[in-house]
Structure 1
């Protein structure tokens, strides 16, 4: 029995989500201080742009690797490193807030390793789709493809719950629908590029992966296959 004095009224944030958030925040703090000349001197001003060039994902580089069948490690790492580089403080702030919100919900149901795998794999999948079909071929940076993967996990859990309640399971997709409408509105107002493709793909990967990564998910799938 746990004592009232030691119980917390708020469930703790999953450690893996905290670690991802800190990685984003600390790197952004480094870039922001460098841009303002408060760290690194004159070289600090170019830290962000240098990181984008060295660690951001770019569809043209990916196309070159596909065409030549060459997969150097310094370019393969871009599939993961782009997650932690953002274009501005605001970009990183919104990504971090959404990571904490969705990561807490998903991480309280999924295991730590499953939450991390869902986030990273969704981001990698989003970058892959972006690299294959993005027409404008801009740089892809930021945690949003991975965050959208967590939205996919959130949608899966809500989809399951609505099914257990006998409610309309299509309601589970309300959040992604609202976000896509907002992206469309912002795109019309301020202009947009094809990076939204990575976000949508990240959501799709996250939703599908949740069937396997959710507690007991793989066992249920094997049972259904054996039953057939």
Structure 2
């Protein structure tokens, strides 16, 4: 049984203790993803598409709901969200203007759907308290310092309705052969990985009083992802 430690007010398992902390400052993330934006769709489809598709399934979006995607990227998931919720409220935010431009281009193919795409911070969401039915977040916590994660989860909890869904996809610690190559690359050059490294969020969610319904592991092109469905 793994040893547990308390850090930042959260009790972490021995497994999480082994994970790397972030080595790229948040102030540099926007510029990194501005540069990555032109090729991100290729990388995303090769390594993340299975996990992202599963997240949309778990979200089980119904038309007319209030849905927020934080860190919307190029809109790979947001496009699917808006397709399922054309008459509801769909809000997408991201730090990177380059990623948002790609997302706007993708969403322009949907006519008559309701959505908003804006530059914004996950630390201070421009959304009213308890106004969101479903909050989706793909491949963002793997960019954050461990000490920042609790602040973001509190902000997510603030905007979610009681009983609202939180659907997360993160790069995680590899569980199968070959997946460790990505952490190896991160140790040498974090920017090459877009600042992403393996994290594990289930225990942190529970520490913030979220009810974790499921946590699933996916590996695509050796890239390890976790998909989590939790409720406020």
Classify the TM-score, shorter chain. Answer: under 0.3
Provide TM-score, normalisation by structure 2: 0.25
Q: Which has the larger radius of gyration?
A: 1
- Structure number having the greater strand percentage: 2
Name the one with the larger helix percent: 1
